A and B are shown apart, each in its own frame.
Chain A
Amino acid sequence: MAGLAFQRVPVLEQREVRPGVFVLRVGGEFRAKPGQFFILRAWEFYPLLGRPMSVFDLSPDSLSFAYAVRGEGTRALSRLRPGDELWLLGPLGNGWTRAEGRVALVGGGIGLAPLLLTAKVFGPPMDIFLGFRDEPFLLEEFSPFARLYVASERGGPPEVFRGLVTEMFEPRGYAAVYACGPHAMLEALYRKCRQVGVPLYVSLEERLACGIGACLGCTIFTKSGPARLCREGPVFPADEVFGGA
C-alpha cells in the first residue's frame, strides 16, 4: 500500500447531480488504482468514524468521489463547500487489474462510483453497463470512454432498457467482468457469468472502522478463508465470495 497517508485536504467542488447524489472533488496530488478507496472525515466528534468511499475520478491535482446520501456521515459530507477542509486516509484496498481482451464494467446505482476511473485507466476494448432504480445519473461522465448501455427499472427513453441491469447484460464473449452494486445484483451477475465461464470481479461494501486492516471489523468469509474487505478487498473474484466453501 505505497503512499498511504492521512492528510487534510481542501474541498474544490461539491456538485449535486440529482437529489441526494453528489460528486465531491478535493484538491491535492494523489495516487490511486481503479477500485481503491479513501476514508473521509469532515467533523471533530460526530459521527464517530469516517466514511469509506471509492475513487470516482482522479486528475493530476484533484480526487473526486461520487456518493449518495444514506445517513448522517454522508449528509455531513454533502454539506461541505469549496474552501472547507476534510481529513482523507488512503489510498486503501487492492483495486482491480485489467484482463486482456474485451471487458465489461457493470454498475448498479451509486455502485457506479468505482467504475469511472476504472474505465479511464482500462481503456478499450470495453463496454459499460449501468443500472438504475429510476432516473439515470452521471452518464455523461462515462460516455466518452466506452459504449454505454443503460437500464432503469422505471424505464425512460427508447435507448434505456426497462428492467434490471442483470437482465440486460449478457456476459458471453467478454474476457472478464468488473462490477459494483447491491449484493443481490452481484449475486445474479455471478450466476450469469459462471454459466458461460466468464470471470467476474466484484467490489464489495461492509461497515468498516480502521480501513487499514487492523481492526478486523470488515472481515468476510471467502472460499479461501477470512479476508479483510479493506485490505485483501474490496475487490474479490466473485467465485471467492459466492462460490461456496
Chain B
Amino acid sequence: MEPDLSVKLRKIRLSTPVMPAAGTFGFGEEYAELYELSSSLGALVTKTLTLRPRSGNPQPRLWETPCGLLNSIGIENPGLPAFVEEIFPCLLKFRLPIVVSVYGESAEEYGELARRIPREAAGVELNLSCPNLPGKPSVLSAEEIFSRVAAAREAWPGELWAKISPEGDWLPAAQAAEEAGADAVVATNTFRGMALDLERRAPVFPNLVAGLSGPAIKPLGLRIVYELCRVLRIPVIGCGGIRSGRDALEFILAGAHAVQVGTANFFDPLAIPRILREMRDWLKKEGLRGLEEVRGCAQKK
C-alpha cells in the first residue's frame, strides 16, 4: 500500500509535505520546465514580494562555502501589485496551493500586503527574517513579530505562516507569532554569515553579511524545530539544509508537519521530487501508512 504523505495544516491540506523555500524557486515557472510540479509539491511558496518593486543587491550575490551557500539577493521582486496583476493568474495553471511570501518594513505594511493577496491564494507566508536588506534588521523582537503577524492576521482570513530567524530569541518570537494568530511557524530562515576577500582585504558582500543556507545549517535548524515543536500548539514547518528524504524525515520526527527545501534545488534541480520519493520509500520499507505514525516520535517524553 502507498503511504499517505498528505498533511493537514490548520486551514489547508497539502497533498505532500514537501515545498520549496521562498526565494529558491522563483514563481515555479523555471522548475516546471523540468518536472510536473503538482505531483511533487505540497504547495508552491513564491519568491518574497514587497509592496514596491525592488531591484535587489549588487553583485556579488552568492558565495559558496563548504556545504553551504551565502546569499545576498536582497528580495529582488516585481512588487506585489505587479505580481497580483501579471504573475499570480499564470500560477493557477499549476493546480497547486499557492502560498504567497511577503516582506514589509512595518506592521502597517504587512497589513497592507495581506489585504492585497488574491483570495485564490492558499496561504500567506510572512517573511519576518530576511538578512539581506541594507539597514533593516533581520532579527525582530517578540513584540515586533506580534504586531506584524497581528496586522496581517486582521487582513487575511486564510492560512497564515510566520517565517522566523534562527537567531536572537526565536522561541519567544515563535510564541508571539502563535499568539498573534499565525497558523504555522516556518523555522527557519538563513543564518547571518560573512565572507572576506583576502586579496582585496575587504568583505565580499557590500552589505557585509549574507544569509547562510545549505546542508551546513541542517543540524542547527533541526534543533530549533525540535525545541519549537515541544512548546508551540500550531504546526511547525521545518526548513534548513534539507537535501534528502532522510533529512526531511528527521524534521518530521522532530515534530514538523511539513518541510521546505531551498538550496538543494540549486545543486539538484530535481531535489523536491527525489526527496518525496525517498520519504515514500522509507515509509514503505518501515511498513508505515503515513507521516502521523512518526511525527514528533523523536521527542523525549
Partner-B contacts on A (CB < 8 A): 1, 4-6, 41, 45-50, 89, 206-210, 212-221, 225-226, 231
The interface residues of chain B lying within 8 Å CB-to-CB of A47 are 64
21 contacting pairs across A/B (C-beta < 8 A) = A5-B34, A46-B67, A48-B64, A48-B214, A48-B215, A48-B266, A49-B64, A49-B69, A206-B60, A209-B71, A215-B71, A215-B266, A216-B23, A216-B56, A216-B61, A217-B71, A219-B59, A219-B61, A221-B58, A225-B55, A226-B55
Question: Whole-angstrom distance between the alpha carbons of A214 and B58 in the complex?
Answer: 17
> In the complex, are the beta carbons of B33 and A212 less than 8 A apart?
yes
1/0 contact string of B2-39 vs chain A (CB within 8 Å): 00000000000000000000011110001101100000
Chain B residue with the shortest CB-CB distance to A207 = B62
> In the complex, are the beta carbons of A213 and B30 less than 8 A apart?
yes
> In the complex, are the beta carbons of B269 and A6 less than 8 A apart?
yes
Question: Whole-angstrom distance between the alpha carbons of A108 and B40 in the complex?
Answer: 44
Given contacts A1-B33, A212-B31, A221-B58, 17 further A-B contacts (CB under 8 A): A41-B267, A48-B65, A48-B68, A48-B263, A49-B69, A89-B269, A207-B63, A209-B62, A210-B265, A213-B26, A214-B30, A215-B23, A216-B73, A217-B71, A219-B56, A220-B59, A226-B76
The interface residues of chain A lying within 8 Å CB-to-CB of B55 are 219, 221, 225-226
> In the complex, are the beta carbons of B30 and A217 less than 8 A apart?
no
Query: Which of the residues A45, A210, A216, A217 comes within 8 Å of B269, measured between beta carbons?
Result: A210
Question: Whole-angstrom distance between the alpha carbons of A48 and B265 in the complex?
Answer: 11
The interface residues of chain A lying within 8 Å CB-to-CB of B66 are 46, 48
1/0 contact string of B246-281 vs chain A (CB within 8 Å): 000000000000000001011111100000000000
Chain B residue with the shortest CB-CB distance to A4 = B33
Question: Whole-angstrom distance between the alpha carbons of A68 and B67 in the complex?
Answer: 23
- Give the interface centre of B24, B62, B215 by most chain A CB atoms within 10 Å: B62
The interface residues of chain B lying within 8 Å CB-to-CB of A218 are 61-62
Least CB distance from A107 to B in Å reads: 23
- Give the interface centre of A1, A5, A219, A231 by most chain B CB atoms within 10 Å: A219
> In the complex, are the beta carbons of A215 and B24 less than 8 A apart?
yes
The interface residues of chain B lying within 8 Å CB-to-CB of A89 are 269
Chain B residue with the shortest CB-CB distance to A230 = B30
The interface residues of chain A lying within 8 Å CB-to-CB of B62 are 207-209, 217-218
Least CB distance from B52 to A in Å reads: 14
A-B residue pairs, 5 tightest by C-beta? A214-B26, A209-B266, A217-B62, A212-B30, A214-B30
Question: Whole-angstrom distance between the alpha carbons of A210 and B29 in the complex?
Answer: 13
Question: Whole-angstrom distance between the alpha carbons of A49 and B67 in the complex?
Answer: 9
Least CB distance from A128 to B in Å reads: 29
Question: Whole-angstrom distance between the alpha carbons of A209 and B268 in the complex?
Answer: 10
Question: Whole-angstrom distance between the alpha carbons of A215 and B72 in the complex?
Answer: 11
Question: Whole-angstrom distance between the alpha carbons of A218 and B266 in the complex?
Answer: 13
Query: Known contacts A6-B270, A207-B63, A219-B56: does B33 contact A214 (CB below 8 Å)?
Result: no
Question: Whole-angstrom distance between the alpha carbons of A46 and B68 in the complex?
Answer: 10
Question: Whole-angstrom distance between the alpha carbons of A218 and B64 in the complex?
Answer: 13
Least CB distance from B35 to A in Å reads: 9
Question: Whole-angstrom distance between the alpha carbons of A6 and B267 in the complex?
Answer: 11
Query: Known contacts A215-B23, A226-B56: does B61 contact A49 (CB below 8 Å)?
Result: no
Query: Which of the residues B61, B68, B269 comes within 8 Å of A212, measured between beta carbons?
Result: B269
Residues 114-161 of B at the A interface (beta carbon under 8 Å): none
